[in-house]
Amino acid sequence: MRWGTVALVVFGIIAFVGYMFLPWVVLGLFIYYVARPINQRIGDRIGKGNLSAALTLLLIIVPVVLLLGVFLSIALGQFAAFATSEASGQLLEQSPINVETIPDDPDQLVNTATTTLSDPSVQSVLAEAQAFVGAAASGIFMLFLSLLLGFFLLVEDQRLGQWGRDQILGNDAVSIDYLEAVDRGLNSVFFGYTLTIFVIMILTAIIYNVFNFFAPENLLIPATILLAVVTGLFTLVPLVGRSIIYLGIAALLALGAIQLNPTLVWYPLLFFVFMTLAFDNVVRTYIRPYLSGKMFHLSLVMFAYLLGPILFGWYGIFLGPLLMVIVVQFLQVVVPQLRDEETSSPLDIGQTTLQETDEGLSDPLRGGKAT
């Protein structure tokens, strides 16, 4: 009884620490599951260890940093263009601070700066700026810890798994089956569905901008990046999926073509045919079978991704699928064994069809077709 109390205290401490750092722990797990298949490929060539884990994370981090650098460069370029524009001059003229009255003498400049900084409103702004800088620094540090957790798991995952079997689980076959099922499920969801969504977002953003580059008579697709994000998310919607986005864009382009020149209606038709036949065929034939898993019904994944951020905030996009996997695998693996039955096949309600054929659509037990 005494050691049982000590065990509760120890696990309580671990749970408290995990709860306090829950967003970053979940992010670290996401990084691990996204990086693990890549790490295994690299490990097969150079040997699994610190080097393969570091190279794996670099393959993930460097593209993200480059992408952020591109966006920052674009933002700085736009700011520079604005600073030299007439609008910035008009804004300075309406500013309560007259630039021409700024003193040139160093002593007067120091006195003016001291007086300005002692103003309560300026002090409030400085306090907010300091809080913002502190929050940004804390976020960067926590992100570093998430990367460190992902790196640690990439290096020590097999050793940790073996230690858990030997020291904690022992001969508990139900717990071992359940944890292995959760591990497979998280790999399927995090690496499969999430990576598929991001790949589709990137590819559609490129395609939309290419169409804008060759658009006749300025017949442009608006907000291409936003529409690319929506297209990726609609991959999770059964049956209609991305096609509803293509149709909406084509309808918008067709409306613009009718207003400009009715003979340009061929352009939205070409866009719709290309996206629904050529691009979607690439997604179905190459991207989705290579990346996506087949373990969970598409509707469950969709609700996990949509409800997670609503319930938990920004990290809910990672925590929602994690909780979905934990619950579904418990119902699928543990409950049948507690009833002395064999483990059911993946989701009796029907697993997601990743081949995207018309087979099985008439079966009421099968879920929505993946798009």
DSSP 8-class letter at 230: H
Place of tokens 């300091």: 130
pLDDT, one tens digit for every residue, the chain (371 residues)? 677 788 888 888 988 888 888 888 888 888 888 888 878 888 777 777 778 778 877 776 667 666 655 655 655 665 666 566 665 565 555 555 554 555 555 666 566 666 666 667 666 766 777 777 777 787 788 888 888 888 888 888 888 888 888 888 877 888 888 888 898 888 888 877 777 878 888 889 899 999 988 888 888 888 888 888 888 877 766 556 788 889 999 998 898 888 888 888 899 999 999 998 888 888 877 776 666 656 777 778 778 877 888 888 878 878 888 999 999 999 888 888 877 755 555 554 444 433 333 233 333 333 444 45
pTM over 0.75: no
So what's the pLDDT on residue 360?
Answer: 35
250 within 8 A of 272, measured Cβ to Cβ: yes
So what's the pLDDT on residue 344?
Answer: 53
* Two structure tokens written together for 170: 């022992």
What is the three-class DSSP state of 170? Answer: coil
Cα distance between residue 187 and residue 233, in whole Å: 19
